[in-house]
Amino acid sequence: MTRILEPLTVDPHDPAAILADLEEAIVGKRALLPVPAQDLSRAAQLRSSQRVGQPIEDHIAMVIATSGSTGTPKGAQLTPANLVSSADATHQRLGGQGQWLLAMPAHHVAGIQVLIRSLIAGVDPVCLDLSAGFDTDSFAAAAKELAATGERCYTSLAPMQLAKVMDSLRGIEALQIFDAVLVGGAAINPQLARSAQRLRIKIVTTYGSSETAGGCVYDGRPLPGTKLRVARGRIHLGGPMIAAGYRNHPNHSAFVEPGWFATSDAGRVEKDLLTVTGRLDSVIDSGGLKLQPEVLEQAILGVTGVTGVCVVGAPHPRLGQAIVAAYTGTALPGEVIEGLDELPRWQLPKELRHLEALPVAGPGKIDRKAVEKLFS
């Protein structure tokens, strides 16, 4: 019988309601496309672009769209082996199976994998109601519920969620409960990471994507079974968690070699440790000098009082692109510039804007396109 790609509507009030559907997918019975219940426009876009209701290859368990709210999302085709191998490798690296708290949207790969890991471990995850947003008090109450089991406890957060939880004593005490707090989707503020370490919060930074069934490099080191290489500055990932191509781009160059995925990220490997330096498609060319914006972002995040930042290129009549930045926090623009006195002058932002909040696309990812529009 021909398998059909089915929509899987994820209700933020009760994400655990999809557990039975996920179980059927990872045993090879169904092919599912997670879509958000609250975002009707995004759900319609996903259904159309990923051809819901049409035949799909029998070995595909799930199609997970790449994050972002602009443009047509690509759909990573994940097999049961992709999903299960990722979950098994995570538990192996973290020291064993345990109880999971879902605090991220379950239609994104990071949220889906929290549920998959729970299924593999044979436990019922505790799931936050995210219909009204992420709330520290709810997170703390759920963490206390997990702690009562006496088993190992894990959760996964975006950097912005981590910052919010660490802004209160109750949140800090909740984070200290976990044997590991996975943090991914974007670079973590180095000041925040140092604070977490001082407070004995066990942060594990993750790197991966929908195409790799979620994070597959933890704290710069590949998970068991994951292969890693850097070719001409581009990060390539391989192993049993690599997707079987894209649903709507069957001949995409990112999957030219079986079992490998060529990411859009630049990086380097030193002493078996991966450092991600930024996206290859976000390089700013300012007067012939090229800047990886993530490098400047890390420098700005090191300035006291800065909590978030996005560096982009804005059109400039002489330079082609001017380096500009938007940031959040208590620091004044002058204080930010003073904190960058060790950088070459050409790398300093030509314009610096303070925002109450940075625009986001996906779970905690800054929407660079939206920031670019602020300066256009």
Contact of 242 with 83, CB cutoff 8 Å: no
Q: Extract the residue ranges of the chain whose pLDDT is less than 50.
A: 69-70
Q: Locate the domains of the chain by residue range.
A: 5-276, 283-375
Per the listing, tokens 């059927």 go with 24
Q: How far apart are the C-alpha atoms of 172 and 126, rounded to whole Å?
A: 19
DSSP SS3 for 359: coil
- Are the folds of 5-276 and 283-375 the same? no
Sheet holding 234-238, edge to edge: 227-231, 234-238, 260-270, 273-279
The one-letter code for the residue type at 278 is G
**Model pLDDT, residue 360:** 85
The one-letter code for the residue type at 316 is H
**Model pLDDT, residue 254:** 94
**Model pLDDT, residue 174:** 98
Distances (CA, A) of 14 to 55, 103, 373: 29, 12, 35
Q: How far apart are the C-alpha atoms of 243 and 212, rounded to whole Å?
A: 6
Q: Could you tell me the two tokens for 301?
A: 């995040």
Q: Residue 232: phi, psi to the nearest 5?
A: 50, 40
Task: Specify which residues 127 forms β-bridges with.
Answer: 102
Closest CA to 91 of 212, 218, 183, 229: 218
Q: How far apart are the C-alpha atoms of 373 and 364, rounded to whole Å?
A: 19
Question: Could you tell me how far CA 38 lies from the centroid of its own chain?
Answer: 20
Contact of 37 with 149, CB cutoff 8 Å: no
Q: Could you tell me the two tokens for 68?
A: 């972002």
What is the dotted CATH code of the domain comprising 283-375? 3.30.300.30
Q: Could you tell me the two tokens for 60?
A: 């595909």
Per the listing, tokens 């009030």 go with 13
**CA 282, 288, 290, 296 torsion: positive or negative?**
negative
| Domain 5-276 CATH assignment equals 3.20.20.70 | no
Q: Could you tell me the two tokens for 250?
A: 């069957």
Note the pTM of the prediction, 2 decimals: 0.90
**CA 82, 99, 35, 262 torsion: positive or negative?**
negative
Q: How far apart are the C-alpha atoms of 308 and 324, rounded to whole Å?
A: 14
Residue 367 Rama label (left phi>0; alpha psi -120 to 50; beta)? beta
DSSP SS3 for 22: helix
**Model pLDDT, residue 69:** 42
Contact of 62 with 47, CB cutoff 8 Å: no
Q: Classify residue 89 by its DSSP letter.
A: H
Packing angle between helix 190-198 and helix 293-301, nearest 10 degrees? 50
Count the alpha carbons within 13 Å of 22 in the hemisphere toward its beta carbon.
24
